[in-house]
Structure 1
Amino acid sequence: MIFICMIIAALVTTAMAKGARECSLSETTGAQKCYGALAEPLIFHLPSGENTKMMLIKNNKHRILKILNNTVASIDKEYINSAFFSGGIFQIDKATKEDSGDYLLETYAATNGVLLHKIKMHLQVQVPVSTPAVSQMCLSPEQMNISCSSEGDEVEFILTLDSYPLIQTRAHSQSQPNRTAVSQSLTGEAAEEDKSSDSNVNISLYGQLTGNLMCQVRNNVSRDKTVLQLTNCKASVSHFSHVAVAVIASAAILLLLLALLLGVKHLYKKTRSVRVNKDNAEDEVVYSDVRVMKQTRKPRANWHQNAT
């Protein structure tokens, strides 16, 4: 029995070391709030005590766990293969969106069944943020557009340029409408941010700025960042112009060569063949260029008179 407890304790320690989210139900004052990460371990810390009976109820109707004197008396069938209890710790192996909800822990005296206390907790399971994708687009030598996007629930964005703060958005639910924010550019001019979704933010900056632009994303269960080296838009736009001119010139030369080839082909095409089907027989009719020479000498109307 001691060996089994040691194994369970080791499993719990390993899960916590790998970033398991923890929720406390041991506080006796006020309502608690906790966040879990989707598909990651989730740990509930329960109060321990002898001669007590505890029941963990979800959404006021679904009894998940019943504990009598620190021993599991019953557990819901949905959690038999995905959760376990040991030493005041109730762990779910992989949290799902269905685990979100309102939890209630009721503690009773085991001897007379008197209610000792209730603890409420709201749990929200979120999708962790993904590594942000950052891009730069030069609109002109004087203006560039920066875009940063990330997947996840309630994503918050923080953009900095060489540690200089550019903009920070607030985390908000995906059910809320899009919003428009205003950021302050390094030139002192206000740049209006495009209406963004929960996973995308755009800002306008002076086109000739350079440096390390960092986009940080985070929510209640995760965080990540990406750094982009900004380039001077003046050089970029000039290079683009030269490339565009070269492409246009090459296309014009190709069109001219194609026109010359078509003209030469038409010039030397003298005959064409057409096959005519008649009475199930196939005859070939050949058309040729024919020139008709007009007669210029006058006819001799009185030739018979001269002959006599």
Structure 2
Amino acid sequence: MQITSSIILAAQRKKTRAYHPGASEEFTGNKLQKRHILNVKMISIYVITVALAVTAVGQRSSECNLTEPGPQTCFGVLGEPLVFYLPTKPHMKTSFKKSTENILTLINDTLIRLNEKYKNRTIFFPNGTLKLEKATKHDSGEYNMETHSSTDGVLLHTVNIHLHILAPVSEPAVMQMCLSPKQMTVSCFSEGEEVELILSLDDKLLIQPTANGTENNSVSNVTINLPGQQMGNLTCVAQNNASRKQTITHLTSCTAPVSEPAVLQMCLSPQQMTVSCSSEGDEVEFTLFLDDNLLIKTQPSIAENRNISNVSISLHGQLLGKLMCIVQNNISREQTIIHLISCAGNISDHCIVTVAVVVSAVAILLILAVFLGIWKFKNTAGIMTVNEDEAEEDVVYSDIRLKQLARETRETPPISNQDES
């Protein structure tokens, strides 16, 4: 406000001196009006410039406040602006030094002397603010400020500060590694000086190690063990006395997701069939339904590595309906639906029905084997007959061995030669 008042007063003085006796009143009035408008514009530009400069000081700048008494420690960020706040009062002389080297001298709020080393890298504002454009390691050290009365030279007060310029921390990198479904490790890395790493999970502190007190740039890291099923928002904060950055990542469970289940129906006789359901993943849980009626529900199978799990049940051979197999673990869920086929006929002409919902190499081989068996059966006898002497012989279809019982084959009457003709 004092600066603005002084400029307005100077403008008014210039306006008074602009009048000359003998000049026409119209010409003199227009000239004064133009000069008045020009002066107002200059005042506005100056005030805006000062406001922008003061605003720029506060942007991404470290600060050392020498207007407060007592010894202080200040921290600056390497390569970024650094601001010193110096006291300015009427009838006061201020000297600011680094060690024994004088940086500047102020009287009231006017800069009287500025060291040559700082002229090309500093900006001074009339409110007593000295801004370094880019802090360097050379700026670290001991500083002293003294204020004296500008009238009689009496020492008013002195302030000592220790300035420490630090390399800023980098944005932390977070890495999750699954060791097993039951265990994971989480690591956080950051580069900088005197880095302190803080880990928290869903705002709950996990670890806060002491700061790494290295003087040179180095990579700091911290690693912790967590349960393999742990999930949530993990926050890693990297900070030192000059800067602070953080990274948030979402932890995922170490459980492998389940695959779409493959369902197989296998007829053993007209009175018996088996139904199997298999899926790949970790800690797989199976649930089987027939027309929405629960048949079986298993507990999760826990294994250290991802594997193929399966479940098989026996059903009556004449059962029909919609069979649903649901597989799930704590991170995924899949299901498959098939329609059961009746196991009609007797053991002599019985065929094995194989249903493969998820096509795989094993399923294809089974289907090929069934068709090859049927083709061979038709080309040899038309209708297969089991004699009493062959009651203990094994019949193989698709790698499934069915041992025929003698008492069942005896019930089938032999075919005479006359009938064959």
TM-score w.r.t. length of structure 2: 0.48
Aligned to 2:238, what secondary structure does the other structure show?
strand
d(CA) in 2 for partners of 1:125, 1:12: 23
What pairs with 1:91-170 in structure 2 (closer than 5 Å)? 91-170=131-210
d(CA) in 2 for partners of 1:129, 1:143: 30
d(CA) in 2 for partners of 1:76, 1:115: 22
Aligned to 2:68, what secondary structure does the other structure show?
coil
For 1:168, give the aligned amino acid: Q
Per-residue CA deviation, residues 7-26 of structure 1 (Å, 9 max, x unaligned), is: 2442121231x222221101
Residue 54 (str. 1) matches residue 75 (str. 2): no
Match of 1:38 in 2: 78
Per-residue CA deviation, residues 116-146 of structure 1 (Å, 9 max, x unaligned), is: 2111111112222211100011223322111
| Structure 2 gaps, min length 5 | 8-42, 258-280, 283-303, 308-421
Match of 2:64 in 1: 23
What pairs with 1:256-295 in structure 2 (closer than 5 Å)? none
For 1:169, give the aligned amino acid: P
Q: Give the deviation of 1:204 after TM superposition.
A: 1.2
For 1:216, give the aligned amino acid: V
Name which of 1, 13, 25 aligns with 2:55: 13
Match of 2:105 in 1: 66
Q: Give the deviation of 1:103 after TM superposition.
A: 0.9
Aligned to 2:192, what secondary structure does the other structure show?
coil
Match of 1:205 in 2: 226
Aligned to 1:150, what secondary structure does the other structure show?
strand
Match of 1:80 in 2: 119
d(CA) in 1 for partners of 2:203, 2:113: 54
d(CA) in 2 for partners of 1:168, 1:151: 17
| Structure 1 gaps, min length 5 | 177-196, 244-308
d(CA) in 2 for partners of 1:61, 1:9: 34
Q: Give the deviation of 1:63 after TM superposition.
A: 1.0
d(CA) in 1 for partners of 2:92, 2:203: 54
Q: Give the deviation of 1:198 after TM superposition.
A: 5.9
Match of 1:290 in 2: none
Q: Quickly say closer, same or farther: Cα 1:5–1:25, change in 2 above 3 A.
A: farther
Q: Is the CA contact 1:174–1:198 (under 8 Å) kept in the aligned structure 2?
A: no
Give RMSD over aligned pairs. 2.6
Q: Is the CA contact 1:210–1:232 (under 8 Å) kept in the aligned structure 2?
A: yes
For 1:135, give the aligned amino acid: M
TM-score w.r.t. length of structure 1: 0.64
d(CA) in 1 for partners of 2:124, 2:46: 11
For 2:249, give the aligned amino acid: L
Q: Quickly say closer, same or farther: Cα 1:88–1:175, change in 2 above 3 A.
A: closer
Identify the structure with bigger relative contact order (alpha carbons < 8 Å, sequence gap 6+): 1
Aligned to 2:80, what secondary structure does the other structure show?
coil
Q: Quickly say closer, same or farther: Cα 1:22–1:121, change in 2 above 3 A.
A: same
d(CA) in 2 for partners of 1:72, 1:200: 47
Name the stretch that deviates more: 4-13 or 125-134: 4-13
Q: Quickly say closer, same or farther: Cα 1:43–1:127, change in 2 above 3 A.
A: same
Q: Which has the larger radius of gyration?
A: 2
Aligned to 2:117, what secondary structure does the other structure show?
helix
d(CA) in 1 for partners of 2:96, 2:103: 6
Aligned to 1:215, what secondary structure does the other structure show?
strand
Q: Is the CA contact 1:146–1:204 (under 8 Å) kept in the aligned structure 2?
A: yes
d(CA) in 1 for partners of 2:64, 2:110: 20
d(CA) in 1 for partners of 2:110, 2:46: 12
Q: Quickly say closer, same or farther: Cα 1:55–1:5, change in 2 above 3 A.
A: farther
Q: Give the deviation of 1:211 after TM superposition.
A: 2.1
Q: Give the deviation of 1:241 after TM superposition.
A: 5.7
